[in-house]
Structure 1
Amino acid sequence: MSKSSDLRPRPSLPGRVPLASRGLVAAVSALLAIVAVSDLFAVFAGVRIHMLTGSDDALAAAPQQELAGAYSLYEKAGTLQVTTYLACAVLFVVWFFQMRRTTGLLAPDRFRNRPGWAIGAWLIPLANLWMPYRIAVDMWTASTPLPDEGVPSRTSIWPVNLWWALFVSSNLFARYAASRYDNAETLAQIRSAVVQYVAADLLSAVAAAAAIYFALRLTAMQRLKAS
């Protein structure tokens, strides 16, 4: 070994890296699962309304009490969705910030912004459609294994892309469906809006499942690299 190679700088990790709490990622995953269940419950309530109002004959045959119960169930499903979504959003952002802070210790040169942006990026209109994704990509690449005998380690970022694509599309579609439902004046418009709501809820449930996989995989990658 030459003298010059002895002096060549080598990448190093801090001796003790404070990792994200296992309990926190478990709680986030559990809440995401609850969000998915609430979405599927809303799908059931929406399908029930659509079946009761699927045609003029079905509407005429359905008892008014049954129709009122179906709409009441649909409203309760919506309330449950909002409640679980808000609780999950708060805890997810806490986990996201903690992951950014701890992952930054593993590879500080991989990040474009300071850790505080892991919270602020979600709060800025329009920017929140892109900035959290960039931070997630940075965390993902920073958590990739160290090079093995000089060969760079590559890890596909498809879980990040899948989660973010589903998350953004489900939220945008849900807002569109909500505006159609609120502005519906005829029975045909209500039916159409309910169908769109059902599609948005299904997309949201899949997005929650993708978020669980992303969170668990990123946490595992971080712990593996730190070890």
Structure 2
Amino acid sequence: MSASNDLRPRPQLPSGRPESSVGLLVVAVAGLALAALCDVFSLFAGWRLRAVFEGDGGFLTAPQNDLESAASLYDTAARYQVIVYLPAAIAFVVWFFRMRRNTGLMAPDRFRNGPGWAIGAWLIPLANLWLPYRVAVDMWGAATPLPAEGERFRARLWPVNLWWGLFVFSVLFNRFAGTKYKNAETLTEIRDGVGQYMAADALHIAAAAAAMYFAIRLTTMQRFKAAEGPYGGAVVKAPAA
């Protein structure tokens, strides 16, 4: 009897039903979007402050009233960034932890650390510039469907790499800009510091967009693999019996 028209038997997933992560995804994406909007506001406030500095034909002068108004707007934008950042970060990390649990049910052998590291990796100074990336790579590989017979398993990691590269670079550059702005004494140094902060805000916006894409793609991959099985619904012929 030939079994050439049957699907290849698929390995069973570990016991345990993945919890829905769509609600957490919506909250995490909303938090990232709100953080990005605060960065856009900060860019506008920074542009306005630099415009005050560079008024009067390009000479570095600043009328007191205009300077105070622009500086107040810039400080307000900075406060909004601080207020929004913490809940947005918490929402993303909670989603990150839920995804680690869900993808761990699919391919526990692909993970180098336990689920708790999906939270703990963010809390270790310096190591948090690398460890969450390792967890994300493991999750991405676990959520990627297995290849058909004869094909090599290869997870395309560019969404993970793009998000993490932008995130780390934006964090480091923001610290550099903050130091320059804090130590500024003259109007020229303040103007340059604001310009560097504006560049950091632009990087934050790009990193937030990359994080949203990564989160949506990973959640979609996990749900698809959970519904269709390890091979992602691919039809593979089994050898003749």
TM-score higher than 0.5: yes
Task: Evaluate the alpha carbon distance shift between residue 149 and residue 174 of structure 1 in structure 2; reply closer, same or farther with a 3 A threshold.
Answer: same
Q: Higher helix fraction: Structure 1 or Structure 2?
A: 1
Tell me the TM-score normalised to structure 1 length.
0.91
Cα displacement (A) at 1:149? 3.7
Aligned to 1:4: none
Please, which moves more after superposition, 137-146 or 52-61?
A: 52-61
Tell me the matched-pair count.
220
User: d(CA) in 1 for partners of 2:173 and 2:114?
Assistant: 31
Aligned to 1:170: 170
The sequence identity of aligned pairs, in percent, is 60
Aligned to 2:135: 135
Task: Evaluate the alpha carbon distance shift between residue 177 and residue 202 of structure 1 in structure 2; reply closer, same or farther with a 3 A threshold.
Answer: same
1:103-148, Cα deviation, whole Å (9 max, x unpaired): 1000000000000011000000010000000000000001001232
Aligned to 2:239: none
Superposed CA RMSD: 2.0
- Are the aligned partners of 1:38 and 1:77 in contact in 2 as well (CA < 8 Å)? yes
User: d(CA) in 1 for partners of 2:15 and 2:131?
Assistant: 30
Aligned to 1:222: 222
Structure 2: which 5+ residue stretches go unaligned?
2-8, 228-241
Aligned to 1:43: 43
User: d(CA) in 1 for partners of 2:218 and 2:152?
Assistant: 19
Cα displacement (A) at 1:45? 0.4
Tell me the TM-score normalised to structure 2 length.
0.85
1:5-54, Cα deviation, whole Å (9 max, x unpaired): xxxx9632146532342111011111101111110110110011111102
Please, which moves more after superposition, 51-60 or 119-128?
A: 51-60
Q: Which has the higher contact order (CA 8 A, sep 6+)?
A: 2
Q: Secondary structure at the match of 1:39?
A: helix
Residue 13, structure 1, aligned to residue 10, structure 2? no
Cα displacement (A) at 1:63? 3.9
1:108 maps to a residue whose letter is P
Structure 1: which 5+ residue stretches go unaligned?
2-8
Aligned to 1:104: 104
